[in-house]
Structure 1
Amino acid sequence: MKIHDLITTSDALADLCERLEKSEFVAVDTEFMRENTYWPELCLVQIANTEEAAAIDPLADGIDLTPLLDLLCENDDVLKVFHAGGQDVEIIVNLTGKTPFPIFDTQIAMMAISQSEQIGYANLVDHWLGIQVDKGARFTDWSRRPLTDRQIEYAIGDVTHLSVIFPKMLKKLIKTGRGAWLDAEMEKLADASNYIVDPETSWKRIRQPGRNPQALGRLKALAAWREGEAQHKNIPRGRIMRDETLADIASHPPKKQGDLAKVRGLSNAWKDNDIGKRLLKVIEDAEPLPKSEMPEKMKRGAPLGKEGALVADLLKLLLKIRAREIDVAARLLTRADELEALAAGVRDLKVLDGWRYDVFGKDALELVEGRTGFAVKGGKLSMTHIDDMQASMQESQIPEETPADVPEEVSEEASE
C-alpha cells in the first residue's frame, strides 16, 4: 500500500479524492480536540482504500476540503467505513449538515459476529490481524503544529488496518447471513438529526425532574439558554452548568439572583454577575410545558412484583445463553429494560419483531408463557421445551408391569 506524505494543499487533496472516488470503499478516521470547546476542532483526517492511504491537514493554510467532503457526503458509490464513528460523523455533519453515506461501522458490525459490544480499535486489529497497535500517541494534542512523523504514522495506521479488516469482516457477515441485522443500526448512524443539537429539544437529553409541567417548562427554557451560551462562547456546555445543577434549578427555582450563591454547582459570583442575571430572567420568563410536548410514559405492563422480577432474571439468563450459542453481542438482540417489559406483559417490543424474534424473541416469549425451561446438557445450561422434558422423563421411567415369566399365582402371593 502506498502511504502519502501529509497532504497540506488543495491540489494534492483534489488529486487524491479523484483517485479514491473510483474505490468500492474508503476507510476514514479523524483526529480532533474538543476538551475546551463546544464545537470539536477537526485537526486531521485519515483516509485509505486497498491501494493507498493519506493523512490530510485541515488546519493547513488555504486548504480547500470540498473534494474530500464531496467524496464523503455526495458520492453514493463509495462506501465509507469507520470504527466507532459517531464522533467522526458528528464533525462531518457540523461541516456539511450531512452524514457520510453509505456508511459502515466496524464496531457495530462486530456485535453481529461476536459477543463484543463495544470493541476498541486496538482489540479489533489484534482480533483480525494479530497486530499490536502502538497506543503511544493516543493523547496527542492534534492541534499543535508541526506534527511529527510518529504522530502521522500512528494516525494513518488507523485506516490502513481498517482497509484490510473490512473485506474480511464483510465476507464473514455474508457467510453468516447477518448483514441485515445491522441495517437499523447503520441507518441510525447515518441520521444527521442524531448529531445536530437543537437548543429547543436539548432538555430531552437531561434526566427529567418528574412530570410537573412548570418544572419541565423551566428545564426546557434553561437547557436552551445554556446551549446558546455555550455555543456563543464556544465552550463545553458543562462549563456553563452541569446537567444535575440545571435540573435542580428547574425543580427548585431561586426567587432572586442572590439565591444562586446557595445553588450547589454554581460559584458565589453568580449572585452578582451578568450570566446570573440572564439565568434568573430565563426562569422568570419560562412557561409551563404544553401538554403536547409532555414526554411519553414508558410502556409498562403490570408491576413486576417478586415473581415478575424472577421471570425477568430468567430472561436475562436466556439472553446470555443465546448470545453465547450464536456468538452475537447481547445488546444487539435486546436490552434489560425490554426484557423487564416483556416479563410485565408488554408485547409491542422490538425483540418480538423481525430477525430478533426469530433468533431470540420466540424463545423468550415461550419462556414467559411457560412453554420452555432450562436444562443442563453436557455440563452446559441450555433451553428445552417443556413437552420435550416431560416426554424424556416418561421414557426414563421403568414400566411397573408383572414380568411375563412369573407365574400368576406367585405374583398374587407377592401382592398379599
Structure 2
Amino acid sequence: MSALDIRWIRDDASLAQQCRDWKQLPYLALDTEFMRVDTFYPGAGLVQVGDGERAWLIDPLLIRDWTPFAEVLEAPSVVKVFHACGEDLEVFQRLTGSLPQPLFDTQLAAAYLGMAHSMGYSKLVLEMLGLDLPKDETRSDWLQRPLTDMQVRYAAEDVQHLAEVYVKLAPRLPEHKLAWLLADGADLVANQTRVSDPREAWRDVKLAWKLAPQQLAVLREVCAWREEQARLRNQPRNRILREQTLWPLARLQPKDKQALARIDEMHPRTVRQDGDTLLALLAHAAALPAEQWPEPLPEPLPREVTPLLKRLREVGQREAERQGMAPELMLRKKILEALLKSGYPDGPYRLPDSLQGWRRELMGQALLDCLAAPENP
C-alpha cells in the first residue's frame, strides 16, 4: 500500500475535469466520512473515490458545484460500489441532490455468496484480501482542517480496498444473483428518495395503536411538528422533543406549562423554549373535527402467531439454502407480519406490496401455501 496514489480535489474545475474521466470507467468505489454528533443531517467531511489504481479525496468544504459529480452518480454505465451504504446515500443526496445508480453494495454481495449477513467492512477485507485494517481513525474529527496524515491514509486505503474487494466479489456472482443484488441496490436508493412525510411520522410511535382516533390526531400533529423542527434547526429529533414524551402528550394532552412539565421524560429546556408553541399545537390538534382524525391503528399480532411466523421464515430459509445465500436476505420480519395481518387468523391472506421482485416470484406462492396448509399436529 505504500505505493497508493492519492490525489486531492479541492476546487470545482478539478472536480468537473475528473468527472469527465470517471464517466468512462466501468466502476467506481465510493465512500464518505462525515460527522453527526448533534445534528439532524450528516456533515460531510470527505468524499473518497477509487478506481482500483488510485484514490481521489474530494474536500466537500471547498466544492460549490456538484453537478458534474451528480452526473457520474447517475451514469448508467458506471457501477457505483459501496459497503453498507445507508448513510453514504444520505450524504450524497444532501451534497449533490442525486443518488448512485446502478449500486453494488459489497456487504449485500457477500451475503448473496453465502457469507455472513451484515458483515462489517474490516471483516470482509480480512476475508477477501487477507488484510487486517486498523480502525483508529473511525471516530476522528473529519471536519477539522488540515486532516492528519493518518486520516488521509485511512480514508484513501478504505476506498482502495473497497475497489479490490469488488474486483474479487463481482465475478463470483452468477448473472441472476447480480441482477438481484442490483435490484436491492435500486430499492435502497428508492427508499432514500422517499423523503419521509412528517405527517406520517406518528405511525412509528411505540404503542400508538393503543390511542383513540382523537388522540391519534394529536399525536400526528406533534410528531409532524417535531420532524419539521428537527430538519429546520438541523438538530436531532430527541433534542426537539424526546421520543418517550410523544405518546403521553397525545394521551394526556396537557393544557398548561405545569402539566406539560410533568409529562414523563419532558426536558425542562423543551418547556422553556417551545412550551407555548406545543400547548397551542396540542389545543389546535385536540379541537380537530372527527372527520380529520386518523383511522385507529391495527393491534400488534398476538403471541400465538409465533409458530406461524416460524413456519413462514422456514420458507425463506429453505430457499436460501437452495440459493447458497445468507437466510437473512430472503424475508424480512416486517414483510411476514404484513402478510399475516392481511388475513389472520382465518384468512384469506394476500401477499403484501412490500414483497416484490425475485422474492415474490420465488417465495410468494410458497408462503401462501404455507398459510393454507394445516398446522403440524
Q: TM-score range by the shorter chain?
A: 0.7 to 0.9
In the alignment, which residue of structure 2 is the partner of 1:137? 137
2:7 is paired with a residue whose SS is coil
| CA–CA separation in structure 2 for the residues paired with 1:293 and 1:140 | 45
* Cα deviation code 1:190-209 (max 9, x no counterpart): 21654624333333343352
120-129 or 40-49, which deviates more: 120-129
In the alignment, which residue of structure 1 is the partner of 2:100? 100
| CA–CA separation in structure 1 for the residues paired with 2:369 and 2:187 | 30
Matched, 1:278 2:280: no
| CA–CA separation in structure 2 for the residues paired with 1:371 and 1:216 | 38
In the alignment, which residue of structure 2 is the partner of 1:86? 86
- CA drift of 1:155 comes to 0.8
In the alignment, which residue of structure 2 is the partner of 1:414? none
| CA–CA separation in structure 2 for the residues paired with 1:129 and 1:94 | 33
In the alignment, which residue of structure 1 is the partner of 2:70? 69
Specify which of 36, 48, 51 is matched with residue 50 of structure 2: 48
| CA–CA separation in structure 2 for the residues paired with 1:289 and 1:95 | 42
List runs of 5+ in structure 2 lacking aligned partners: none
Q: Are the aligned partners of 1:6 and 1:152 in contact in 2 as well (CA < 8 Å)?
A: no
Q: Cα 1:69–1:317, aligned 2, differ >3 Å: closer, same or farther?
A: closer
| CA–CA separation in structure 2 for the residues paired with 1:123 and 1:295 | 45
1:55 is paired with a residue whose SS is strand
| CA–CA separation in structure 1 for the residues paired with 2:179 and 2:348 | 26
Matched, 1:29 2:31: yes
Q: Are the aligned partners of 1:89 and 1:99 in contact in 2 as well (CA < 8 Å)?
A: yes
Q: Are the aligned partners of 1:97 and 1:192 in contact in 2 as well (CA < 8 Å)?
A: no
Q: Are the aligned partners of 1:363 and 1:372 in contact in 2 as well (CA < 8 Å)?
A: no
Aligned residues: 365
* Cα deviation code 1:142-171 (max 9, x no counterpart): 011110121111111221111122233222
| CA–CA separation in structure 2 for the residues paired with 1:269 and 1:356 | 48
In the alignment, which residue of structure 2 is the partner of 1:335? 332
Q: Are the aligned partners of 1:6 and 1:54 in contact in 2 as well (CA < 8 Å)?
A: yes
Q: Are the aligned partners of 2:45 and 2:59 in contact in 1 as well (CA < 8 Å)?
A: yes
- CA drift of 1:324 comes to 4.7
* Cα deviation code 1:89-116 (max 9, x no counterpart): 1122223433222222222233322252
1:4 is paired with a residue whose SS is strand
2:198 is paired with a residue whose SS is coil
In the alignment, which residue of structure 2 is the partner of 1:122? 122
Specify which of 19, 22, 42 is matched with residue 20 of structure 1: 22
Matches within 5 A, 1:397-416: none
> Over aligned residue pairs, what C-alpha RMSD do you find?
3.3
After TM superposition, the score normalised by the length of structure 1 is 0.76
Percent of aligned pairs sharing the same letter: 33
2:34 is paired with a residue whose SS is strand
In the alignment, which residue of structure 2 is the partner of 1:313? 310
| CA–CA separation in structure 2 for the residues paired with 1:5 and 1:294 | 56
- CA drift of 1:54 comes to 0.9
| CA–CA separation in structure 1 for the residues paired with 2:349 and 2:170 | 34
Q: Cα 1:298–1:165, aligned 2, differ >3 Å: closer, same or farther?
A: farther
Q: Cα 1:315–1:14, aligned 2, differ >3 Å: closer, same or farther?
A: closer
Q: Cα 1:32–1:254, aligned 2, differ >3 Å: closer, same or farther?
A: same
Q: Are the aligned partners of 2:216 and 2:293 in contact in 1 as well (CA < 8 Å)?
A: no
| CA–CA separation in structure 1 for the residues paired with 2:251 and 2:367 | 40
| CA–CA separation in structure 2 for the residues paired with 1:28 and 1:207 | 36
Matches within 5 A, 1:200-211: 200-207=199-206, 209-210=208-209
* Cα deviation code 1:74-101 (max 9, x no counterpart): x333221111111111122223433222
Q: Are the aligned partners of 2:26 and 2:77 in contact in 1 as well (CA < 8 Å)?
A: yes
2:98 is paired with a residue whose SS is coil
Counterpart code for 1:145: R
2:280 is paired with a residue whose SS is helix
| CA–CA separation in structure 1 for the residues paired with 2:278 and 2:375 | 58
256-265 or 95-104, which deviates more: 95-104
Q: Are the aligned partners of 1:44 and 1:55 in contact in 2 as well (CA < 8 Å)?
A: yes
Q: Cα 1:179–1:347, aligned 2, differ >3 Å: closer, same or farther?
A: farther
After TM superposition, the score normalised by the length of structure 2 is 0.83
| CA–CA separation in structure 1 for the residues paired with 2:130 and 2:56 | 23
Q: Cα 1:258–1:291, aligned 2, differ >3 Å: closer, same or farther?
A: closer
Counterpart code for 2:69: L
Counterpart code for 1:91: V
Counterpart code for 1:191: A
| CA–CA separation in structure 1 for the residues paired with 2:303 and 2:19 | 57
Q: Are the aligned partners of 2:52 and 2:164 in contact in 1 as well (CA < 8 Å)?
A: yes
List runs of 5+ in structure 1 lacking aligned partners: 374-416
Q: Are the aligned partners of 1:115 and 1:324 in contact in 2 as well (CA < 8 Å)?
A: no
Query: For the pair shown, which has the larger CA radius of gyration, 1 or 2?
Result: 1
In the alignment, which residue of structure 2 is the partner of 1:191? 190
Q: Are the aligned partners of 1:81 and 1:104 in contact in 2 as well (CA < 8 Å)?
A: yes
In the alignment, which residue of structure 1 is the partner of 2:8? 6
